[in-house]
A and B are shown apart, each in its own frame.
Chain A
Amino acid sequence: MASVHESLYFNPMMTNGVVHANVFGIKDWVTPYKMALLVLLSELGRAGAQLGLLERRRLNRLLLPLLQGPDMPLSRLLKAIEESCSHLASSVHIRLKLMAEGELKDMEQFFDDLSDSFTGTEPEVHKTSVVGLFLRHMILAYNKLSFSQVYKLYTALQQYFQNDEKKNGIDESDMELTNTEELEGKMEKEELDVPLREEEISCSGPLSQKQAEYFLSQQASLLKNDETKALTPASLQKELNNLLKFNPDFAEAHYLSYLNSLRVQDVFSSTHSLLHYFDRLILTGAESKSNGDEGYGRSLRYAALNLAALHCRFGHYQQAELALQEAIRIAQESNDHVCLQHCLSWLYILEQKIFDSCVLLEHSVNKSLHFGLPYLASLGIQSLVQQRAFAGKAANKLMDALKDSDLLHWKHSLSELIDISIAQKTAIWRLYGRSTMALQQAQTLLSMNSLEAVNVGVQQNNTESFAVVLCHLAELHAEQGYFAAASEILKHLKERFPPNSQHAQLWMLFDQKIQFERAMNDGRYHIADSLVAGITALNSIEGVYRKAIVLKAQNQMSEAHKLLQKLLIHCQKIKNTEMVISVLLSIAELYWRSSCHTIALPVLLQALALSREYSLQYLASETVLNLAFSQLILGIPEQALNILHTAIEPVLAHGAVLDKGCAMFLVAKCQVASAASYTPQKKIEALESAILNLNEAKTYFAKVDSKEQLRDVLYFQARLFHALGKTHERNKCAMLFRQLHQELPAHGVPLINAFK
C-alpha cells in the first residue's frame, strides 16, 4: 500500500512540503518505524532473562539490519521479529497498540522511561554499544522536537499502526467478497496508485542520514564487487532521486549516481553528477572547521582528478589530459604529495594510450612507497609487470616482482589486489604458453576465500579478475577439447556478469573466439565468417586476424595475404608481439600452401627469433612445427625430425589438442619420409612407429572432432598399412576414410601437402 508510506513522511526538515536546507545538521530523527524498534528494544530488555539462548542470538542478529535499514511497514517488521521469536512480536504489537490507541502522554511516558535503561549499577544497555548509541540518538532527537512536531509524530505513529490494521482488514474482506461495491472503489484507488508505487521499490519515504549512508555504502560496495546484486541502474537512479529529494544536501548520493551512470555509459549524466557531487562536497569541506581551508582545497584537487578519470573512462584522452594537468597544477601549488601520486598513476594510464612510458611508472612506484601508499604502489608494480611482460623482459624477474608486491598485499590485506595479482599471473602464464601453470593459478583464485570482512559469507566477488580468470579457464578447457565444460563455464560467466555489466565484454570475446575455433575445426567456414564481425566489434585486431584466417581457409590466398600484411605492419607499430608472431605464422602458411617453401623459411625464422626473444614458448614450438614441415617438403626429413624432437615436448605438455594431433601427424610423416633411405628391416620398424604416432594423432583429432584431419590421418595410415602389407587393417582404415570422405566436400589442397 502506497499510503502506508505516507505515515513515514515525518521529517522535521520538511514543512509545508518544502524541504529546507539541513541547517542544524540533523542526522537522525524519530519516525514511527524507529519507535517500533524502540519498543522492540525495551521489550527485549524486559524479557531478557526469559529468552532462550538461541532466540537471543537470532534477535541480536536481526537487530543490526533493522537499525541500519530503511523504514518498513509494521507488518513486515513484526513478521521479521516473529521469525526469531514469536511471543516477543506479539508483545511489541500490543505495546504499540496501547501507545497508538492511547494518548499523547503514553508516548511521552515511553520516551521518559527509555533513558532508564542506562541507569543503575548494571545497566541493560551499554552507552557506547550500537543499541545504546541508537537509543541515545533517538532520545536526543525526540527531545529536540517542538510541540507541534511531537504531535505530528504521534499522529504519524497512529497512522502507521492503523494502516497495518487496515491492511489486515482488506485481506479479510478480500476473502469474503461480500461488499463488492466498496471493494471496487478500493480497486480503483489502488489502480491509480500503481504508477506511484513503482517508485517505491526497496526503500521509501525519506531516509534519515544514517539510513541513507548505509544504503549508499551498501550499493556502492555492491557496484564495486558484485554488480548483479546491486539494484538495476534505473531503479537505483530512482532511489537516488528520491533520496536527494528529501536530503538535497546529501552529496554522496550524487557520487553514487555518477557511478551508476558510468554503468550505463552515460557521459552526460555522469559528468553532471560528478560535478554536482564536488560542488556539494566543497561546501561540506568548507563547513567543517577542523579541516579548514585545507579540506576545501583538497576536494578541488580531487574534483579535477576525478574529472580526468571520467574522461579517460569514456576514451576522451585529450580532455582527460587537460583535466589531469589541472589537477597536477593545483596539487603542486598546495604541495599535496598524495594527490600528486594519484595524478602520476593516472598520467601513466593516459600516456600508455599514446606511448610506453616505464619511467613514469617507476617514479610512481618509488614515490608511492615513499609516501606510504601501498595500494598505488602495488597497482603500479602490476602495470609495470604487465608492460614488461609484453616487452619481453625476463620471466623470472617479473615473477619476482609479482611475488614482492604480493608480500605487500598480504601485509596490508589488500584482497582486491591479491585477486588481480593472481589473475595477472594466470594471464602471464598463458602468454608464455604454459597452460598447466595458468590452469593452476586460475584454480587458486577461484577456490580462494575472500578476505574482505564485509563478505565473510560470500566466497567470491564479481570483480574483473574473476572474469579474466574464468575466461581463461573456459579457453583452456576448449583447447583441450572439453567443449561442454567450456560452455558450462561461459554459462556461469553469463550469469555472473550479465551482458550489460562492466566486464561482460571479456567473456563475450572469449565466447566468440571459442565458437570460432570450433567452427574452423569442423570446417564450417561460413559460420566462422559470421563470427568475425562480432569479434571485430570487441577487439579489432583480433577480428582482422580471424578474418584473414577464414579467407585463408576458403582458399582466397591473395586477399588473406593482403590483409595479413596490413595487420603485420599495424601490429609492429603498436608492438603487439604476440599478434606479430601469429601473423607471421599465418603468412608462412600462406606461402607453403602456395608451395613457396623457400620464401616461407625466412618468415618462419623471423617468427622463431621473435618468439624466443619474448619467451613465448608456445608460439615458438608452433613455429618449429611449421619449420619442420617446410623442411620435410624441401626434402630434408632427417633435419625435420631433429628439430621436431625439441618442439614436441612443450607441445605435448602445454599445447591444445589440435596442435598435439598436428604435431604427431607431422612426426609420422617425417618418419615415413626419412625411412625411404633406410634398410628394409629398419624401414618396417620406422613405419610401424609412424603408425603408432598416427594412432595417437587420431585420438587427439577425434577429441576435438576435427574430421578433415581425421580423414587425412586415415588415408595416410591406410597407405602405410598397405606398404606393410596388412590388408585387413588397411581395409578398415580405407573404409573409415571413405565414410568421412563422403561426409566432407573434396578439398583442393593435396592431402599430404598440408600440415594443418
Chain B
Amino acid sequence: MAAAGVAAGLGSGDFSDLREIKKQLLSVAERSRERGLQHSGKWASELAFALDPLPLSELPPPPALTEEDARDLDAYTLAKSYFDLKEYDRAAYFLRGCKSQKKEKLHFRPLEKGQVKNEALRELRVELSKKHKARELDGFGLYLYGVVLRKLDLVKEAIDVFVEAAHVLPLHWGAWLELCNLITDKEMLKFLSLPDTWMKEFFLAHIYTELQLIEEALQKYQSLIDAGFSKSTYIISQIAVAYHNIRDIDKALSIFNELRKQDPYRIENMDTFSNLLYVRSMKPELSYLAHNLCEIDKYRVETCCVIGNYYSLRSQHEKAALYFQRALKLNPRYLGAWTLMGHEYMEMKNTSAAIQAYRHAIEVNKRDYRAWYGLGQTYEILKMPFYCLYYYRRAHQLRPNDSRMLVALGECYEKLNQLVEAKKCYWRAYAVGDVEKMALVKLAKLHEQLNESEQAAQCYIKYIQDIYSCGEIVEHLEVSTAFRYLAQYYFKCKLWDEASACAQKCCAFNDTREEGKALLRQILQLRNQGETSSTDIAAPFFLPASLSANNTPTRRVSPLNLSSVTP
C-alpha cells in the first residue's frame, strides 16, 4: 500500500513529477500482474512505456514479503502457474488453506469469464462483505468485491465499492474502468466523490468520451499529452475515438494512421478505424487493414468487424453479416457488431432481421444511439413516420447535438404534416452544425410551402453561403434550386441587381438555365421601364461576396421545444 500512499500525494492534474508517476505505474503494473489482472497491468505498463526510462537506481524495489506471504509462497506460486494455464479449479484447490490476500485475486479470473456459477458468486459475496465490514480488503479486494456485486446486478452497491476501491488504490485502472461502465449520465458523475489524484484525469477523459461529451474529453486528453504522455498509444487511440464520435473523420483518420505507425500490431480500436475508412469509402486502405489484422489474429472481435466492414463496402452484405455474426459468437456482448449487423440487414432489405439486430444492440447498451437511429430508419423505410419518431427521439436524446437525428426527425414531422415541429428540427440541425448541409434547404422549402418567402430567402442565402464557404466545388444538387428561388424572390421584391445576379448564376446550371435566361430578359425589360424608381434601393447584402469562414452560426441555440410528448 506504499505506492497508494504516495499517489495520494500528487493532486489532481499535478503531473510535475513524471518520474514519481512512472514509478507508481511500474509498481502497480507488477502488482496487477501478480494478481492475474492482465488488463490493468497492460494498461499501466503501456502508460509507463510512454514515459522516459528510469535509471536503475530508481527502479521500484520488488514489494517486500510479509511473514504470511512467505508461508503461502509455495502454494501461491503453484496456484499461479495453474492459473496462468487456465486451470482455475485446480488453482483454487491448492489455495484452500492460504490466508494471504493475494489468493482472492485468483478467484477473479474465472469470474470474469463467467465460469463461476451464481451460487459460488453469492458465497463469494458473503465472504467478501464480511471482510469489507471488517475493513480487511485492500484496493484489489475491493475491486473484486465490486465485480461480484456487479455480476449480481447490485449496481448501487457496486458503484460505492468501486469508488472506495479507487480511493484506496487509485493506481488500479480496472476499478476506474468498471466505474465507467456503471455511470450512466453526467449527473451521476457529479455526485461521486472521487479521489483527487492524477489518475482521475485519465478517468474523467475516458468517461467523457463514453458519455459523448467529446469537447471536454479532448481537452482532458490534450492536457494529458501536454503533461508528458505524448507517446502513449492509449491516449492517441482515445483521441482518435473521440474524433470519430464527433464525426471529424479526417482528423480521426490521420490520428489512426499515426497510431498504426507507432503500434502496427495493435488490434484494439481497429474496428473504429475501419468504420472511418468505410465512411470515407477508402477501399484499398480498408482491404489492407483487413488483411493485416487477419494475419495478426483472426479470432478477435475487432478483426471480424473489420472484415465485415470490408465486405460491406464491397456490397457483399451476406458475407458481411456472416462476419458480424462471427464477432458476436466470439463476444455476445460486443455492441458494435449488433448495430453493424443491423445495417447489413437493412442493406439486404431484411427489415425484421434488422430490427432484431438493433434491438439486441439496445439490450446490450441502451445508450447506443446508432441502434436507435437504425431502428428509426427501418420504420421509416416501412413507411411509418409516426412510429419512427419515438426511435429518432431516443437517438436525439442521446446525441442532442447531432444534426443527422434532427434532420431525420424533421423529415418525419414533415411527412406527418407537422410543419412547425419540422421547422424547429431543421433550424436546430443547422444551428448545431449540419453535417450533410441539407437542413437549410429543407427548412427553406418548408418556408416556401408555408408562403413565408422572406424566411425562405434567408435560408437559401445562408445555404449558399455555407456551400461556398466550405469551398466545395462539387456540384451540389440543391444550389441551383436555391439560386432559382432567390432570383424569383428578388424579382418579386423588385431588387433588380440581386435578381439578375442570381439569374445569371442560374444559367450556370443545366436544369435552371432556361428559366434563368427568361428571368434575365424580363428583368432587363422591366428595368428599362422603371429605371428611376428602383435603382435607389440599396442592396443590403450580397451572397457569395459576404462569405464567412465560419460555417457554424454564432446565434445561440434555443432549446428544442417540440410540442409533442417525448417519451
Contacts and interface: CB of A to CB of B under 8 A. Distances in A.
Interface of A: 2-3, 6, 9, 16-18, 20, 188-189, 192-193, 195-196, 248, 267-268, 271-272, 275-276, 279-280, 282-283, 285-286, 296, 300, 303-304, 307, 311, 314, 316, 318-319, 322-323, 325-326, 329-330
A602 to B, nearest CB: 46
B384 A326 contact: yes
Contact of A6 (B115, B119, B333, B356): B119
B194 interface: no
A192 B125 contact: yes
Contacts of B152: 196
Interface in B363-414: 363, 375, 382-387, 390-391
B355 A304 contact: no
A189 B359 contact: no
B386 to A, nearest CB: 5
A271 B126 contact: no
A283 B352 contact: yes
A318 B564 contact: yes
A276 B565 contact: no
Interface centre among B126, B363, B386, B387 (most CB of A within 10 A): B386
A296 B113 contact: no
Given A20-B332, A326-B387, A316 B565 contact: yes
Contacts of A16: 113-115
Contacts of B118: 6, 9, 17
B129 A248 contact: no
Interface in B7-64: none
Contacts of B363: 248
A271 B391 CA distance: 11
B564 A304 contact: no
A296 B390 contact: no
B353 interface: yes
A293 to B, nearest CB: 10
Given A192-B129, A285-B352, A322 B386 contact: yes
A198 to B, nearest CB: 12
Contact of B352 (A282, A322, A325): A282
B373 to A, nearest CB: 14
Interface of B: 113-119, 122, 125-126, 129-130, 151-152, 154, 332-333, 351-353, 355-356, 359, 363, 375, 382-387, 390-391, 416, 418, 564-565, 567
B567 A267 contact: yes
A267 B122 CA distance: 36
Contacts of A285: 352
B155 to A, nearest CB: 13
B384 A304 contact: yes
Contacts of A329: 383
Contacts of A283: 352-353, 355-356
Nearest to A285: B352
B544 to A, nearest CB: 41
A654 to B, nearest CB: 46
Contacts of B351: 282
Contacts of A311: 565
B114 A18 contact: yes
Contacts of A189: 126
B115 A271 contact: no
B386 A286 contact: no
Contacts of A316: 564-565
A296 B351 CA distance: 10
A18 B332 contact: yes
B567 A323 contact: no
Contact of A279 (B116, B151, B359, B418): B359
A323 B355 contact: no
B114 A330 contact: no
Contacts of A322: 386, 416, 418
A17 B116 CA distance: 8
A314 B356 CA distance: 28
Nearest to B385: A326
Nearest to B417: A322
A193 B117 CA distance: 17
A328 B416 CA distance: 14
A286 B378 CA distance: 15
A133 B337 CA distance: 41
